[in-house]
Amino acid sequence: MNAAPAPAVELSDVSRVYSPGSADEVRALRGVSLRIDGGEFVSVEGPSGCGKTTLLNLLGLLDAPTSGELLWDGRPVGARSDRERARLRLERVGFIFQRFYLLPTMTARENVELPMRALGVPRAERLRRASDLLSEVGLSGRERSFPHQLSGGEEQRVAIARALANRPGLLLADEPTGELDSGNTRGILDLLTRVRAGRGATLLLVTHNPTVSARASRHLAMEDGRIVADRRGA
Amino acid sequence: MTPTGWGRGPRHARFQRFLAVAAIGAAVALPVVLISVGGGVSDHELHALENAGYQIVVSASGLHGITGAHDLTNRILGVPGVSFASPVLSIAIDAFNTSDSVSPILAEGVIPSQFTATLGPTETGLFPDPLPLGDPNDSTHFANGSYRGTPTYDVVVSAPYADQYQISVGQSIVLAPDDNLSAGVRFNVTGTFGPPFSFLQPTAAYAVLLPLSDLQVLTGYGNGSGTIVPDAADSIEVAVAGSVGGNPAALDRVAAAIQALVPSYSVSTLSQEAQQLESASAVLTGFYLALSSVGIVVGVIFLTLVLLRRVEAERRSIGIRRALGISGRSIAAGIVGDGAVLAGAGALSGVVGGYVLVTVLANHASSTVEEAARLAVFAPATLAEIVAGIVVLSLAASAVATRSALRIQVAEALR
């Protein structure tokens, strides 16, 4: 299986409102327009509650805009059915979460295999690729370890291997080092930088940490549901 | 484990799954026991009918409802194709044995030669042949309906009764319509009959056979003033010639001819009796299933709750799977598969549990229950239908849990 091409993703005047019309209404995104070309490394910064995760969820098709349009390679995808969006996520998006979100009842290898199983990759191919990926993230020999037997840094490495399993073109990382110490943070950033460059994938990384955002080639700053700065350069 | 990881869980979840299996198992064990035992008893009775020595039964409504039994027997014997006709009067009376202690006993009044001729192959070895009851045709005492002839005062007693009270042939016992010894009549014991007691056999543990006319007079069912039913019997069992017995149409013609003789009585062939028994058995099976459905519904509700609880407990895991792009259909398949496995395991454990329970009952219960349990028939097709039915019902439980799982918002589940 070849790597999925990195899609150019575009938001056009996108808003996302939770519980509209109610007393609990939250306007998480307000008319955001943005284009990210394939292969870019973009960091998103901003205070808590400014809409960073909502932006990530929309780009990764975990959520749908209340208004506006989401385009992948110029084609609207935001309003597609749940099933179609799930298929796109499976084939083209790799998620990395702050809390790792490994399945606790599965071993490291089974966690990495999971997206490939869902895609119907043959068992032999799955096993080989899972081993290669775990080796690539520095976890050779830990294939049979369960998440609770791994350190935080190791868990995040497994999560990165899982995100890479179906060779996605778009990597979305939500505070991937938020729960790691500085040593592990550096290691994870090195790993993400390496795998992104090696695969030519787009990497969108949400962070509070200036050290982390410094690795990106483009920097978005958000406030109150809007992008208030879009700066290029390391 | 399913391909998407649904199906494993921590210890408390495993315990819930165990409880769901146990609940369904208990619910399934009930119909397994009821249907296997009920079906076995029904089969036994059908087998008894198939092996009876008679083919037609004449009966009447009410207690000892056939009147003029001797005369009617002779008229039935005159119907072409009829070989034997055996009137039977069954009445619970009291017996005073040699030490004058009293015990209730089932008395059957018969015409000896006719009775012996209508025994089936499984019964013939149980009775002396000919029956040592004096007048084989019971005509001397009856004497054209006058009861003026000499009673035989012969009686044949069941082996359990004879064993219990140390009664042997040649001794005498007093039979009375109730426990009043002064109203009793002394009879000579001329023989014994029967195997050990079985409630499903046609005889009771304590029973006596005596000439029909003797029992009628003893119990007030002969002719004379104060008799409610003169010359009474409960039924007349009719055996036909071999050429008629093997020809259903000819058998029906004989039954119709007898019916013409006794339009107010019921005349049925054994095949009709068998059909009625099968119908009654089917009704009972339906009743058993209806009764069992209560337990099964409770089991399925429990399964639904366990699956729902599981969905709630795995809310985040489901969210992770959805975030990774695993389809709702795949997650639903995991839940449905899990429900089917739990239901299937529960149903199989219920079948095994029911089998074990019947086996235990067949060896350690009261005599009546033991006898019934020993007749149990475990029909593989029926058991397979029960298991399949439970698995199908589990789909309903899974549907509820699946609906809940698919309504989980991924972004919210991952917060």
Listing DSSP states for B166-207 in one string gives: T--TT-EEEEESSS-GGG-EEEEEEEEE--S--TTSSS-SSE
How far apart CA A223 and CA B260 sit, in angstroms, is 104
Residue among A63, A89, A118 whose CB faces B330 most closely: A118
Give the separation between CA B266 and CA B135, rounded to whole angstroms.
Answer: 29
Residue B11 structure tokens: 């210890």
Query: Rounded to an integer, what distance in angstroms lies between the CA atom of residue A44 and that of residue B64?
Result: 99
Tokens representing A194 are: 């390496």
Q: How far apart are CA B77 and CA A198, in angstroms?
A: 106
CA distance B276 to B288: 18
The SS3 assignment for A206 reads: strand
Nearest residue to A3 (alpha-carbon basis) of A203, A136, A201? A201
Of B44-53, B105-114, B290-299, give the lowest mean pLDDT range.
B44-53
Contact criterion met (CB < 8 Å) for B328 and A103: no
Give the mean pLDDT of B223-233: 74
Most A CBs within 10 A among B322, B324, B338, B403, hence the mutation to make, goes to B324
CB atoms within 10 A of CB B17: 21
Instruction: Classify residue B315 by its DSSP letter.
Output: H
Task: Please tell me the distance from the alpha carbon of residue B186 to that of residue B172, in angstroms, as a whole number.
Answer: 6
- Distance of residue B410 Cα from the nearest chain A Cα, in angstroms: 6
B88 vs B73: CA distance, rounded Å? 11
Q: With contacts defined as CB-CB under 8 Å, which chain B residues touch A173?
A: none
- Asked if A179 reaches chain B (Cβ–Cβ under 8 Å), the answer is no
pLDDT digits (tens, 9 = 90+) for B336-390: 998 999 999 999 999 999 999 999 988 887 767 888 888 888 888 888 988 898 9
> Considering chain B, what is the average pLDDT of its residues?
87
Per residue in B10-38, pLDDT (tens digit) is 567 788 888 889 999 999 999 899 889 88
Do the chains contact at B411 and A57, CB–CB below 8 Å? yes
Total length of chain A: 234
Q: Average pLDDT of chain A?
A: 91
In degrees, rounded to 5, the angle at the alpha carbon of residue A36 between the alpha carbons of residues A34 and A39 is 170
* Residue A7 exposed, middle or buried by CB count within 10 Å (0-12, 13-18, 19+): buried
Burial tier of B263 (Cβ tally within 10 Å: 0-12, 13-18, 19+)? exposed
CB B12 within 8 A of CB B378: no
Nearest to A97 among B10, B328, B414 (CB): B414
Angle (nearest 5°) at CA B11 between A105 and B401: 75
Q: Find which of A82, A93, A101 to mutate to test the B interface (most B CBs within 10 Å of its CB).
A: A101
Q: Dihedral sign, CA of A198, A204, A210, A212? A: negative
* Contact call for residues A206 and A52 (beta carbons, < 8 A): yes
Residues of A in contact with B10 (CB under 8 A): 105
Nearest-by-CA chain A residue for B320? A101
Q: Say what the pLDDT of residue B15 is.
A: 84
pTM: 0.66
ipTM confidence: 0.87
In this prediction, residues B2-9 reach a mean pLDDT of 52
| A3 has pLDDT over 80 | no
Q: Do residue A106 and residue B5 have CB atoms under 8 angstroms apart?
A: yes
H or E stretch covering A174: strand A170-174
Rounded distance, CA A223 to CA A131, Å? Answer: 41
Task: Determine, for residues A101 and B330 on separate chains, whether the beta-carbon distance falls below 8 Å.
Answer: no
Any chain B CB within 8 A of the CB of A57?
A: yes
| DSSP string for B349-372 | HHHHHHHHHHHHHHHHS-HHHHHH
Asked which of A109-123, A134-148, B182-196 is least confident by mean pLDDT, the reply is B182-196
Closest Cα to residue A173, out of A165, A163, A184?
Answer: A163
CB A183 within 8 A of CB A152: no
Separation between Cα atoms, residue B415 and residue B413, nearest integer Å: 6
